[in-house]
A and B are shown apart, each in its own frame.
Chain A
Amino acid sequence: MEKFTAHTGTGVPLRRSDVDTDQIIPAVYLKRVTRTGFADGLFSAWRDDPDFVLNKPEYAGGTVLVAGPNFGTGSSREHAVWALQDHGFAAVIAPRFGDIFRGNALKGGLLPVQLPQDAVDTLWQAVEADPGTEITVDLAARQVRAAGHAWDFTIDDFTRWRLMEGLDDIGLTLRHEADITAYEAGRASFRPRIATPA
């Protein structure tokens, strides 16, 4: 995973709430067995509408998605994160996220930034007034800056450190393998064990 310290790019204003992962990428695109190539499925049902924000040339190069509350609710599909990243997004700003989406995004290095609705409103207005408005998502400083404003956001120290170092969770966990083995030794015998194939 690439290290993430700060990202500066232009914004894409997605003025919708409750954008669920079925909208971000419909189920028909989930049949692939690879991790890449999901950009064509991104918001595919909405892409037919010429007025949809991602179809507007002025937002074509946007890398920071600014969305309404409850972004990424619904299905656990990590493909939603991969599709947003394949399209070029580095961060999503919204007043509230679906938990699983937020977790998936943090795993894959797509930064989900929770800001209050009034900050999102200000960003929408700024980006719509001037699509060239630069938005800086500064993970190191835990701050979003754009159009002369600055908003602080929260993220726990551990996740921030992991993203800034670009570390993979499995490797981190395996440093504690002895703890896992010790825990397993104490598990009750009545816990179910699946009959593995011979």
Chain B
Amino acid sequence: MGRTLAEKIWDAHVVRSAEGEPDLLYIDLHLVHEVTSPQAFDGLRMAGRGVRRPDLTLATEDHNTPTDNLITIADPVSRTQVETLRRNAEEFGVRLHSLGDAQQGIVHVIGPQLGATQPGMTIVCGDSHTSTHGAFGSIAFGIGTSEVEHVLATQTLPQATPKTMAVNVTGELRPGVTAKDLILALIAQVGTGGGQGHIVEYRGEAIRNLSMEARMTICNMSIEWGAKAGLVAPDETTFAYLKGREYAPAGADWDAALEYWRGLVTDDDATFDTEVTIDAGTIEPFVTWGTNPGQGAPLSASVPDPASFEDASERSAAERALAYMDLTAGTPLRDIAVDVVFLGSCTNGRLEDLRAAASVLNGRKVADGVRMLVVPGSAKVREAAEAEGLHEVFTAAGAEWRFAGCSMCLGMNPDVLTPGQRSASTSNRNFEGRQGRGGRTHLVSPQVAAATAVAGHLAAPADL
């Protein structure tokens, strides 16, 4: 019987399997950042262990770094954490892209950008949005700090075999509808726990037609509906993106890699444990109204009435969400005014996202009383955007043009919402307090973010 893509990659990485034990899986690339690594390096030191494969380990500073300068981390606790990573990277011989380095950026933006993320790999990071790298046809998933230590010490992880799922995206996305709208609509359909225990393969024409950056947006949010990982089979789009990048294979290695990569598809006679279908042609610009990514609706809809949810726990979750978000059932989503617009994150902080937002903002102004932050996903994204003059469009519109990092996606650095402030954000989590204590988050696409900044309330470019 045939195998799915995920099963092929899995099988190719089993170091050891034994009856009644999880498989021991080899890890091809381990990405590291300052927040989830200090206790892991400490553990190594205490046990007198080293990093087994520094050449398969890559570190960056992103969560705590400021976006208003490249030198000073004002908060002493944040600074200590970043300095701890610097010391650990030096002591253990790990490559680190520090604040101010030309390759610094959000861990899930720099891996692909450097060409270190490639098809058929196993990739882990102490960060749940590691699923982003699945866009290249690899098994990529987030791990905790104990597992970070385990990978540093052994370059392997014991892992129970996940189930497989197919998400079949039929039809075509309509003009003005983006990968972000698609994934938000999918999560609203399947629920935040819908993917639990599964590696999900996104398939179908609509997926094949997406750029690499759009595929990354989709895979990024796999974790938001509980999936262990999400992936897309590699194709010519993938290969064209990788060719010539710093860590991409070259010469004879490129040919060998290409031959291998072309076999990385789900066999026609393979079966998935679960299949889900969504029609891309029916999707509209989609936004969230609640406090988890599954609480979303088309922009043209209204805030739902909690009484309309049949499931008791969904109903009480909706009641609590409306109270936290200070929203009234029946309010048209387009009437929700925002204080802040955040364009950035590993979901939507890449060049295409900035281009899309800039095309909406061009010649327009951010509404009075609205603050818009534009935070590129990496120093390289910032550089490329400036080469195209996008920064001029943003600043002319009245938005703030920042340095790269996670920024207001999670508010570990000074970029936070104040209590009661409401944002439209291109990030991936609208959890209570995620962007700052008491802050209220609506997840949106870059296009909707830009239109919202201009209108002052949730809006699509067509509304302007």
Contacts and interface: CB of A to CB of B under 8 A. Distances in A.
Interface of A: 15-18, 20, 22-23, 26-28, 30-35, 45, 68-70, 73-79, 81, 96, 98-100, 103-104, 107-108, 117, 156-158, 169-170, 172-174, 176-177, 179-180, 183-184, 187-197
A78 B193 contact: no
Contact of A104 (B16, B146, B432): B146
A100 B150 contact: no
A138 B77 CA distance: 40
Contacts of B42: 33, 35
B72 interface: no
Interface string B270-299: 000000000000000000000110000000
A156 B192 CA distance: 25
Given A107-B144, A189-B253, A176 B15 contact: yes
Contact of B58 (A74, A177, A194): A194
Interface stretch (B21-29, B233-241, B362-370): B21-29
B322 interface: no
B61 interface: no
Contacts of A195: 55, 95
A180 B156 contact: yes
Given A104-B146, A194-B247, A30 B253 contact: no
A120 to B, nearest CB: 10
Given A174-B153, A190-B253, A17 B433 contact: no
9 contacts: A16-B320, A28-B437, A33-B39, A68-B313, A103-B144, A104-B145, A172-B158, A174-B153, A194-B29
B54 A196 contact: yes
B17 to A, nearest CB: 10
Contacts of B314: 17
Given A75-B128, A98-B226, A180 B411 contact: no
Interface stretch (B210-218, B254-262, B341-349): B254-262
A13 B398 CA distance: 48
A117 B118 CA distance: 41
B84 interface: yes
Contact of A103 (B54, B75, B116, B147): B147
B78 interface: yes
Nearest to B225: A73
Contacts of A103: 143-144, 147
A34, A76, A195, A197: residue with the most chain B Cβ atoms closer than 10 Å: A76
Given A18-B317, A76-B128, A197-B95, A26 B433 contact: yes
B80 interface: yes
A196 B47 CA distance: 23
Nearest to B81: A31
| B contact residues, range | 35 or more
A76 B36 contact: yes
A69 B317 CA distance: 11
Given A173-B24, A194-B57, A31 B64 contact: yes
B94 interface: yes
B425 to A, nearest CB: 14
Contact of A192 (B89, B118, B153, B437): B118
Nearest to B51: A196
B41 to A, nearest CB: 9
Contacts of B29: 192, 194
B39 A35 contact: yes
Contact of A33 (B22, B38, B197): B38
A32 B320 contact: no
Nearest to A35: B39
Contact of B429 (A45, A74, A184): A74
Contact of B126 (A31, A73, A76): A76
A190 B243 CA distance: 13
B21 A158 contact: yes
B333 interface: no
A33 to B, nearest CB: 4
A55 B245 CA distance: 54
A156 B154 CA distance: 23
B396 interface: no
Nearest to A1: B146
Nearest to A191: B28
Nearest to A173: B154
Nearest to B75: A31
Contacts of A20: 292, 429, 431
